[in-house]
Amino acid sequence: MTTAPSATRPLWSRGMAAVLFAQFFSAFGDNAVLFAALALLKSLAYPDWAAPLLQQFFVAAYILLAPFAGPFADSFPKGRVMLIANGLKLAGAACLLAGLDPFLAYGLIGVGAAAYSPAKYGILGELTSGDQLVKANGLMEASTIAAILTGAIAGGVLADHGVTLALGVCAGVYAAAAAANLLIPRLPAAHPLKNVSARSLLGDFIAALRSIWRHPDTRFSIIGTSLFWGSGVTMRFLLVAWVPIALGITDNATPAYLNAMVAVGIVLGAGLAGACVRLEQVERALPAGVGIGLAVAALALVHSLAPAYALLAVVGACGGFFIVPLNALLQERGKETVGAGHAIAIQNLGENGAMLLMLGLYTLALGAGTPVLWIAPLFGLGLSAAISVLWLARRRQR
């Protein structure tokens, strides 16, 4: 059967609908299972520092697989890669449900997520093209944001009704994502690997990493986005520990609601950045990055729920305004230097490396007995200081 010319590929097809459904269920599961796993640790009386350690097992999978996830996605039909990845997530959720080691089980979910990431974006260019590809990316982001909001809330609420119920629903959602993957047409592999060794893949990745780091724009973007995502993931766990102490609320749902409020703010901030910041004016986003840290530091002054919601919406809005221009700059300059695929893979490495480092520091602070009410302002002010240094360096460079 002859494939239609790329210019005439429609936006909507059975394959596109299956990809969007699979992405929604997979991202929903990723966000719900985190709160279910945290509730599991609480029910097993793990110490507070175990929660960020759990996420480190997830993040480590992204770092270890960074040089190989992209070539793996390109060497097989991407729908089948997504099926395998969701199967790994399902297996990890089943291991949590069966009472196996929660850290290793959650790490298995991380392996699935690392394999899934390049395939879900790469398949869009195989299903459509041109202006339709831009719209397809928009649909993918909309599906992801909807899954983040609903998944985080569902995970927290279900965990309050029972950890087993929450984990069972997560496993079912991953199974639904895998079933949706079966409806994706079997497309040819983009770049089948022939006699390619792990050593050659790693060498190619290192060469691209050096090229990205030498370019001032891509280096600036990766440092900025890494600070954002590293702090964002750490703050998610900080909220889980902060809510019962600062607000006196001990359920699993409230931290999930507060994290969802951050996501709402990110949507608003991202829309504002798209309207106000052009690529050559990316420095306009940096004050918002400083604002993220100041708003997080202000959590030390909050002791009731309504101001907490408002402040976290501000955190999210500053974050959305900060991250969107930096992502656009990296995609544009990365395409010009090492290619968009390599640039995204290196960005994933930087962001997950920052997550691992910041979560590690947070884990050490909790393990040393540092009060959570001290960690929030120290963490926020440290983030503001780091982004201020990046801002000054960028101004000198310009």
Domain shared by 233 and 189, yes or no: no
Per-residue model confidence (pLDDT) at position 388: 94
* Residue 38 located in a structural domain: yes
Both 219 and 357 in a single domain? yes
Q: Quick check: is 1 in a domain?
A: no
pLDDT of residue 137: 64
- d(CA 49, CA 368) in angstroms, rounded, equals 9
Query: Could you count the other beta carbons within 10 Å of the beta carbon of residue 14?
Result: 11
* 343 falls within a domain: yes
pLDDT of residue 195: 59
| Predicted pLDDT at 211 | 84
Residue 65: C-alpha distances to residues 10, 103, 237, 357 (Å): 33, 18, 24, 17
Does residue 136 sit within a domain? yes
**Shared-domain flag, residues 372 and 228:** yes
- In this structure, is residue 4 part of a structural domain? no
CATH code of the domain covering residue 274? 1.20.1250.20
Mark whether 93 and 242 lie in a shared domain.
Answer: no
- Tokens encoding 290: 């400083």
What predicted TM-score, i.e. pTM, was given to this entire model?
Answer: 0.78
In a domain, 52, yes or no: yes
Q: Among 194, 218, 233, identify where a domain stops.
A: 194
- Give yes or no: residues 238 and 346 share one domain: yes
Residues 208, 349, single domain; the answer is yes
Q: Is residue 263 located within the same domain as residue 330?
A: yes
Tokens of 169: 């629903």
Return d(Cα 60, Cα 77) in angstroms, integer. Answer: 26
C-beta of residue 328 within 8 angstroms of C-beta of residue 279? yes
Residue 272: the pLDDT is 84
Residues 161 and 240 in one domain: no
Nearest alpha carbon to residue 154 among 139, 143, 165? 165
Per-residue pLDDT of the chain (398 residues; tens, 9 = 90+): 334 444 456 667 777 888 899 999 999 999 999 999 999 999 998 988 888 889 889 988 888 888 887 777 777 888 888 999 999 999 999 999 999 999 999 999 999 998 887 787 677 777 776 556 656 766 777 788 888 888 989 998 999 999 999 999 999 999 999 999 998 887 766 556 665 667 777 877 888 888 888 888 888 989 998 999 899 889 888 998 899 999 999 888 898 899 889 888 888 888 888 778 777 778 888 999 999 999 999 998 999 999 999 999 999 999 988 887 887 777 677 767 765 556 767 888 888 889 889 988 998 998 888 898 899 999 999 999 999 999 998 888 76
In a domain, 6, yes or no: no
Instruction: Kindly report the number of other CB atoms within 10 A of residue 241's CB atom.
Output: 21
Tokens at 122, concatenated: 């790469």
Q: How many domains does the chain have?
A: 2
Tokens standing for residue 282: 């990316």
Task: Give the range of the structural domain holding residue 123, as residue numbers without chain letter.
Answer: 13-194
Are residues 201 and 166 part of one domain?
Answer: no
* Co-location of 34 and 118 in the same domain: yes
Contact present, 358 and 234 (Cβ < 8 Å): yes
- For the record, the structure tokens of 111 come out as 């392996």
- Of 147, 167, 194, the residue that ends a domain is 194
pLDDT value of residue 175:
96
**Final residue belonging to a domain, choices 165, 194, 223:** 194
Inside any domain, residue 238: yes
- Rounded to whole angstroms, the Cα distance separating 255 from 241 reads 9
Say what the pLDDT of residue 5 is. Answer: 42
pLDDT at residue number 6: 42
Residues 73 and 181 in one domain: yes
Which positions ≥6 away from 77 have C-beta within 8 Å?
Answer: 186, 187, 188, 189
What is the model's pLDDT at position 190?
58
202 and 188 fall within a common domain? no
